[in-house]
Structure 1
Amino acid sequence: MGSIILAATPLGNIGDASARLRELLSTADVVAAEDTRTLAQLARALGTPIRGRTVAHHEHNEAHSAPELVRLAAEGATVVMVSDAGMPLVSDPGFRLVQAAVAAGVDVTCAPGPSAVTTALALSGLPSDRFAFDGFVPRKDGERRRWLSEVAEDSRTLVFFESPHRLAATLQAMSEVFGPDRPACVCRELTKLHEEVVRGHLAGLAEWAGAGTVRGEIVIVVQGHQPDQTTPDLETLVSVVEERVSAGEKLKSVVKEVAAAAPGVATRDLYNAVLARREA
């Protein structure tokens, strides 16, 4: 019986490719890649010819290609699985392949290497003893805020992936849901020529992201909820809002300011609570 090997590829700097990765690419019977064109570019950059068969294995065909790859391994082939960059399965294809291999009794092992998650965590300057990776942030604003609310009180350092054109909106939502003073870090283009690591508080990072065009692969790292960051009672905040509105301030402006100063309280939730009290 052969085996399936999950192999990490460089995030950007080709020098991060391990000697084991080079050997696997040149000796494997089958190399399954998220994008075979990206694989070909990597092989050329490494000067490592791929002598085995290359096949596409991505999120759109994984359900169909996984059984075939497992069959090949069961018949004696060495199957190497790579993603476009970093470690397979970490917000990349491979999970179904591992599941199918385990179910079939096919050996699965790993050639570890670069990971955007752990690289960003190490560079962030935030606590790294306990952390949680939450993948890509939801695209739609309502889903994004509900999703962030679910992890707002998690004490672990949180790591997220995000696309550059949604970065400013996501950081703003984080500032409103987690609180503007929550320490965070944005890592861009890790290990590449234009690598950039920006540290600060969520409110400042949201302002930075909104002030210009941010490009490249993005990882956001946010400090977890701290014991002294207690979330104020919503009814108390509603009273504060109503008192200021009675004094002549505009409702929406007051709600935004009060929510921003209250860790874990979303502007929309506070606004709805004010309306609910008025209706009652």
Structure 2
Amino acid sequence: MSASFASAQGAAREAAAAQHYPQGALYVVATPIGNLADITLRAMHVLLLADTVACEDTRHTQALLRAYGIDKGAAQLLAVHQHNEAEAAHHVVQRLQQGQRVAYVSDAGTPGVSDPGARLVAAVHAAGLRTVPLPGASSITTALSVAGAVAHSGEQGGFVFAGFLPVKNAERAAVIEQQLAHEARCVVLLEAPHRIEELAKALGVLGQRPVTLARELTKQFEEITTQPAEALTAWLSGSPQRSRGEFVVLLHPTPVASDDGDSLRVLRLLLQELPLKTAVRVAAEITGASRNVLYDTALQWKRDGAPTEAAAGGDADG
């Protein structure tokens, strides 16, 4: 056991043992995303109590447990990862039906969000068995809490979780240009260090839209920065260290134009005679308003069925 956690087990028992922990239940346990001190007392108590610990990587989890002074034999660790999740879920269900308490952990953070675990939980539900969530660390909420990227109300309120984008450049670019560029709310992405530069390059089409990069969250070299999308590649190239570690990437909300300004009156008039993209470009040139804001506003009108475009005009240029 790490000397830093010598008294943690006692504190975990004292704080959490009074609660009832039923047998035959799957405990979905959040674990630290980098800083070992972010374990919760209840998580530690359940890991001590569990008959089986299901996990992505048994070696990684064994090292984590030993850091907290939790000793589990090899037979008590069960690998459940993306390549065997369906088969392993069957074994978990069998152990639950035998009355075991099974704790499931991913390599880091909250299972079942981006990490494996969703299929396991679904299988447990399908078998009529109980699941118990133990909240804790999550890279998604950690990044959101400090980025100032979530609007509190209106059409821009909340956020959209998109996770990992396609690996292939053309598919990634299509998602960004056809979907994310027109999403007014904050968008949460995840990316691995060996692909962050390609993602940054692809996001450059978003121009001045603010993007927060959060890497190595909770660790010694944690770094969080907000840059215009078009400046991300330059920022990453500023130091070799900046491309290391797992990334949470937040696309900030797109500004929405107010309908009491000249720019929107001009845009409405132009849309009656011109295709959407042409109308947006001309309105931006006439009024000096942001082309991105006008474009997003015109798209919203179109989605809402607002009568802005002439029937014969259409959207001929895309």
TM-score (norm. length: structure 2): 0.71
Shift of 1:238: 9.3
> Does residue 136 of structure 1 match 2:164?
yes
What secondary structure, in the 3-state scheme, does the structure 1 residue paired with 2:292 have?
coil
1:257 corresponding residue in structure 2? none
Shift of 1:128: 5.4
Shift of 1:146: 1.3
Q: For 1:182 and 1:238, locate their aligned partners in 2 and report how far apart those are by CA, in whole Å.
A: 18
Q: For 1:169 and 1:153, locate their aligned partners in 2 and report how far apart those are by CA, in whole Å.
A: 20
Q: For 2:194 and 2:238, locate their aligned partners in 1 and report how far apart those are by CA, in whole Å.
A: 12
Tell me which amino acid in the other structure corresponds to 1:125.
Answer: G
Q: For 1:221 and 1:99, locate their aligned partners in 2 and report how far apart those are by CA, in whole Å.
A: 29
1:74 corresponding residue in structure 2? 97
Q: How does 1:85-100 map to 2 (within 5 A)?
A: 85-100=108-123
- The share of aligned pairs that are identical, in percent, is 37
1:56 corresponding residue in structure 2? 79
Deviations 1:108-135 (A, max 9, x none): 1111100000001112121254011111
What secondary structure, in the 3-state scheme, does the structure 2 residue paired with 1:152 have?
helix
Shift of 1:193: 0.8
What secondary structure, in the 3-state scheme, does the structure 2 residue paired with 1:187 have?
strand
Tell me which amino acid in the other structure corresponds to 2:207.
Answer: P
Tell me which amino acid in the other structure corresponds to 1:159.
Answer: V
What secondary structure, in the 3-state scheme, does the structure 2 residue paired with 1:139 have?
coil
Deviations 1:14-45 (A, max 9, x none): 11011111111111011001001110111122
Greater C-alpha Rg: 2
Shift of 1:169: 2.2
What secondary structure, in the 3-state scheme, does the structure 1 residue paired with 2:182 have?
coil
1:270 corresponding residue in structure 2? none
What secondary structure, in the 3-state scheme, does the structure 1 residue paired with 2:174 have?
helix
What secondary structure, in the 3-state scheme, does the structure 2 residue paired with 1:263 have?
helix
Q: For 2:209 and 2:86, locate their aligned partners in 1 and report how far apart those are by CA, in whole Å.
A: 40
2:229 corresponding residue in structure 1? 202
Deviations 1:52-83 (A, max 9, x none): 71110000000101011012112211111000
2:149–2:253 CA contact under 8 A, matched in 1: no
- Listed as ranges, the gaps of 5+ residues in structure 1 are 240-260, 266-275
1:185 corresponding residue in structure 2? 212
1:109 corresponding residue in structure 2? 132
Q: 2:60 aligns with which of 16, 38, 47?
A: 38
Q: For 2:231 and 2:174, locate their aligned partners in 1 and report how far apart those are by CA, in whole Å.
A: 22
2:31–2:136 CA contact under 8 A, matched in 1: yes
Shift of 1:235: 4.4
Q: For 2:200 and 2:40, locate their aligned partners in 1 and report how far apart those are by CA, in whole Å.
A: 35
Q: 1:224 aligns with which of 253, 259, 273?
A: 253
Deviations 1:194-213 (A, max 9, x none): 10001121122232123443
Q: 1:233 aligns with which of 243, 255, 276?
A: 276
| Greater CA drift, 153-162 or 203-212 | 203-212
TM-score (norm. length: structure 1): 0.80
Q: 2:190 aligns with which of 161, 170, 174?
A: 161
Shift of 1:163: 1.5
1:244 corresponding residue in structure 2? none
Q: For 2:77 and 2:83, locate their aligned partners in 1 and report how far apart those are by CA, in whole Å.
A: 17
Number of aligned positions between the proteins = 245
2:142 corresponding residue in structure 1? 119
Q: For 2:216 and 2:151, locate their aligned partners in 1 and report how far apart those are by CA, in whole Å.
A: 21
Q: 2:175 aligns with which of 137, 147, 171?
A: 147
Q: Which has the higher contact order (CA 8 A, sep 6+)?
A: 1
Q: Alpha carbon RMSD of aligned pairs, Å?
A: 2.6
- Listed as ranges, the gaps of 5+ residues in structure 2 are 1-22, 153-157, 259-263, 268-274, 283-289, 296-315
Deviations 1:155-201 (A, max 9, x none): 2211100122322221222220xx21111100010000110001121
Q: For 1:57 and 1:128, locate their aligned partners in 2 and report how far apart those are by CA, in whole Å.
A: 37
> Does residue 9 of structure 1 match 2:38?
no
1:30–1:80 CA contact under 8 A, matched in 2: yes
Q: For 2:48 and 2:220, locate their aligned partners in 1 and report how far apart those are by CA, in whole Å.
A: 27
Measured at CA, do residues 45 and 164 of structure 1 come closer, stay the same or move farther in structure 2, by a change above 3 Å? same
